[in-house]
Amino acid sequence: MSRPIRHCAVIGGGVIGGGWAARFLLNGLDVTVFDPHPEAERRLREMVALAGRAMRKLVSAPLPPEGTLRFAGSLADAVAEADLIQESAPEVEGVKQRILAEIDRHARPDALVCSSTSGLLPTRISAEMTHPERFLVAHPFNPVYLLPLVELCGGERTAPVAIERAKDLFARIGMHPLHVKREIDGFIADRLLEALWREALWLVHDGVATVAEVDDAIRFGAGLRWAFMGTFQIYRLAGGEAGMRHFMAQFGPALKLPWTKLMDVPELTDDFLDVLAAQSDDQARDWGFRALEAKRDDCLIGIMRALKPQCFGAGNTLAAYEATLREAAPPVAAEPLRLYEGKVPSDWVDYNGHMNESRYLEIFGYATDALLARIGMDAAMLARGFSFYTVETHLRHLDEIRLGEGYVASTQIIAHDAKRIHLFHRLHHEDGRLLATAEQMMLHVDTGRHRACEAAVEVQSALAVLAAAHRGMAVPPEAGRGIGIK
């Protein structure tokens, strides 16, 4: 029986390995890194700081205490006590074979061994391992600490249990494991990316477009659709009510037209590489490297947070991840529930640079949603035709919060019965200032009959457990206040 994965070793601390280290650490896992490069520790610690900034903006549930980070002087030292070893060495088959064989010699027998390779076949790179049954490819995407996709691909001798262990771990740390069931060079995602990349190179090579124009064609068009539906579902919708068959009847013949050179790759001459480099430099001329990384992260955060209320694509993965974080939070104490937190994004501020007043109510709404999810008002309950409706809200605006500043919403259950929940929310600034309060009355409703009714027994029981911890707390003096001029 393998022990739970709590300690990870990262072999290679570059862009990918550093991203893995950051994701592991921010999910409470201890990490040991081995990378002989003299600047490895500085670079990786900078990345961990950047990742922490990004994750705190992305995730509204409380993150676990950060794991410990250690740098080892040898590969053997790094992997000796690890439950998971993530190899992120250069994309050279012989180099990976040698490193994986060395990992295999020094790792514990029950340790899971993964490679970040973006396209090398797992059977070939594990050929020199004595225990390839515990090895698989876990191919992530940059930035690893933000993008949820990880492609899992086993070799000919990989044990099914290794794949399942990897699936469980990566899902637990907020990722979307995609099991590539057949070995193929480049797996799935990179084969698609390479096709687009080849055509992009030809467009620049032939003078049809600059690198900036190619990127604009993607980021202002299809790229936004790919973020949440991919290719096949988008094309199905393009076929109208008749679906994919109608789409293929209309547009399938176009596949025979000479629109793409696809596998005919342009020669990477010095002149062509100069053109690519110059145009890329021009595209990024107003940005420093770290500033551009941060801007990339903020854009990804905005997309994923926007998708979360839709329970779709990467937003669904984020919602499930936050749910696991809330479930893993400490037991309920005699204090308000800390249910929602974050930092003020750019689209939440007004002309004064302060958070817009409507966002205060939005935050309290998210806190209420988190409470309802915690007592069992989930998608299954909604499908049965039951929900809690907000029938009254009293919101007080007490202080200001600015762009990028952090906040925490907490919730106290003042009273409840079979049909109602009386809540009191507080919104605090990260420096402790009280920013706002909201008092709410929630009513349980049969949505089919549009009438109030008693909540299910299991919902009432879950609510009672939370309310019991709040029973000894004082009722806030602001509760029950009205509005008026005396």
pLDDT for res 237: 75
* First-residue to last-residue Cα distance in the chain: 70
Query: For position 363, what pLDDT does the model report?
Result: 95
> What is the DSSP code (8-state) at residue 152?
E
- Residue 261 included in any domain: yes
pLDDT of residue 258: 62
pLDDT above 70 covers a percentage of the chain that reads: 95
Q: What does the pLDDT look like over 396-443, one tens digit per residue?
A: 999 999 998 999 999 999 999 999 999 999 999 999 999 999 999 999
Confirm whether 200 is domain-assigned.
yes
Last residue of a domain, one of 158, 179, 200: 179
Residues 128 and 246 placed together within one structural domain of the fold: no
Task: Please check whether residue 319 lies inside any domain of the structure.
Answer: no
Neighbouring-strand partners of residue 177: 150
Comparing 2 with 291, the larger pLDDT belongs to 291
Of 179, 206, 228, the residue that ends a domain is 179
| 230 domain residue, yes or no | yes
Specify the CATH number for the domain of residue 342. 3.10.129.10
- Same-domain status, 275 and 174: no
pLDDT of residue 310: 81
Q: Are residues 355 and 441 in the same domain?
A: yes
The pLDDT, as a whole number, for residue 331 is 63
- Give pLDDT tens digits for 86-137: 999 999 999 999 999 999 999 999 999 999 999 999 999 999 999 999 999 9
Asked if pLDDT for residue 173 goes beyond 90, the answer is: yes
Residue 64: DSSP 8-state: P
Eight-state DSSP code of residue 221? I
What is the residue range of 381's domain?
331-470
> How many domains are contained in the chain?
3
pLDDT range class, residue 332, cuts 50, 70, 90: low
Residues 174 and 209 in one domain: no
Taking only the tens place, the pLDDT of each residue in 33-46 is: 999 999 999 999 99
Helix or strand or coil: residue 31? strand
Q: Rounded to an integer, what distance in angstroms lies between the CA atom of residue 476 and that of residue 465?
A: 20
What pLDDT was estimated at residue 380?
79
Q: What is the CATH classification number for the domain harbouring 224?
A: 1.10.1040.10
pTM: 0.75
Q: Is residue 309 part of a domain?
A: no
pLDDT, tens digit (0-9, with 9 covering 90-100), for 460-471: 988 998 898 898
Residue 305's alpha-carbon distances to 220, 227, 270, 427, in angstroms, are: 19, 12, 42, 20
| 198 and 266 together in one domain | yes
| pLDDT on residue 130 | 96
Whole-number percent of the chain with pLDDT over 90? 61
Query: pLDDT value at position 254?
Result: 65
Among 285, 310, 342, the domain-final residue is 285
Handedness of CA 291, 295, 301, 304 (dihedral sign): negative
Q: Collect all residues with Cβ–Cβ distance below 8 Å to 314 and sequence separation of at least 6.
A: 148, 176, 227, 228, 303, 304, 307
